[in-house]
Structures are given as structure tokens and as C-alpha cells.
Amino acid sequence: MGFAGGEFNYSYSKAPRSDGFPYFHVKAFLSHPFSVMRHFCGDVTHVQAFMERPHFRRGAGDLMVSINGIHLRFENGCIGYLLSQRGDATFGLGGWWSVELAGTRGTFCIENCIEKVTYWPSPGAPDFSGEPVVTESGITDFGQTFPLRIHAFLEDITNGVPKEQLRASGRDALAALEYTWAAIESYEQGGILVRPHPLPTLNG
């Protein structure tokens, strides 16, 4: 899913929902990887972002900030990064976005949204063999993920799951928005380190 690209196949989109909006890609695409990273590693405490408009977008007067590299530090001490692009670059990890998260017991990388996960156990870990563990999801169409996410939410509602334990809760959405806005602030300030606003406490 997603697509590699560059200056040779760029085409200026005049779609009214995106034309003239510098952060269209950032707002549309980064909430998903931010949510995935938070699911595995918890709340984010620090964000540092570098973003760019390629020269061909600049030359065409296209305002979209379409290539993003973002570093995150989590409350539990984990470190991770996110790469994202909108058909403007050919990342080795591929697709619209990929993430890598490193911890003391191992590191994993999610490539091309959800297509592939590679896990490297730390030396000495029970599952360490010297070789990475690679899992292919078999899903190559991003549209296939929507029913899975919607059904997960509906299952929780139907089963009476407490609000603070819902998958894809409003609090989770707020977290993704906070991290997105922190990334934009970091970029606009030249890549400074930004601390996202703390999330409201859970009641329940």
C-alpha cells in the first residue's frame, strides 16, 4: 500500500481538500502511525520533527509538506522514529509510512503501514536466535484495515467494555492529535524538541 515516487512521476493535485493546505498529508496520515506507536509503547513525552517540501513541489507552487521524519521519546524510556511521504520519495522501508521502535528487550519495525513487521530480540532474550523474526500481514490494501478497526470498536461497545479501556477511544484520538500538532510545532520552529500537552487523567 502506498507508493514510492519522486520528481519523475510527480503530478500537482488541485483537489480542493488538499490544494493550498501545507499540512494536509501530516494531518491525514500521521495519526495512524502515532496511534500504533503509542499502542505498543505508551504515552509520548517528546517530539522532534523534520519535514520538507521537495523542490518539484516548491517549483509548482504546491504548499504540501509531504516528507516527514519524526523522532519520539516515550514515557517509559522507549525511543522510536517515524518516516512518512506522499509519493515524493522512495524510502527503503516503503509506502506511506513506516516506524521503528527500540527497547531494552528488542526492537521492531513496521513497514509500509501494516504490510510487514520485523522483530529483533535483544541478545540474551529467550527468543533470541541471531535472526530477525519477520511477519507478513498479507494485507496490501489500506482499505482492508477500516472494517477491522470499526468492528473492534463496535465489539467493545457491544460487550460493555469500560470507556477507559475502549480500543480507539476519544482519549486515544486526542493523543494522536497532540502528537501531530507537536510535530507541526517542532517543524515550524526549526526542529526543536516539543513536549506534547499531557492527556487528561482517566476517570473510571
Q: For residue range 92-136, what is the model confidence (pLDDT) as tens digits? A: 777 788 999 998 899 999 998 888 999 999 999 888 898 999 999
Report whether pLDDT(73) > 80. yes
Q: Picking from 40-44, 83-87, 164-168, 192-196, which range would have the lowest pLDDT averaged per residue? A: 164-168
C-alpha distance from residue 10 to each of 55, 58, 119, 142 (Å): 11, 12, 34, 21
- pTM (2 decimals)? 0.89
Summarised one tens digit per residue, pLDDT across range 140-198 is: 787 787 888 788 889 999 999 988 888 878 889 999 999 999 999 999 999 999 999 99
Residue spans of the domains in the chain: they are 24-188
pLDDT of amino acid 2: 63
Task: Write down the pLDDT at residue 160.
Answer: 95
pLDDT at 142: 76
Q: Please name the amino acid found at residue 122.
A: S
Domain 24-188 has CATH 3.90.1570.10: no
Lowest-confidence segment of 52-56, 77-81, 111-115 by average pLDDT: 111-115
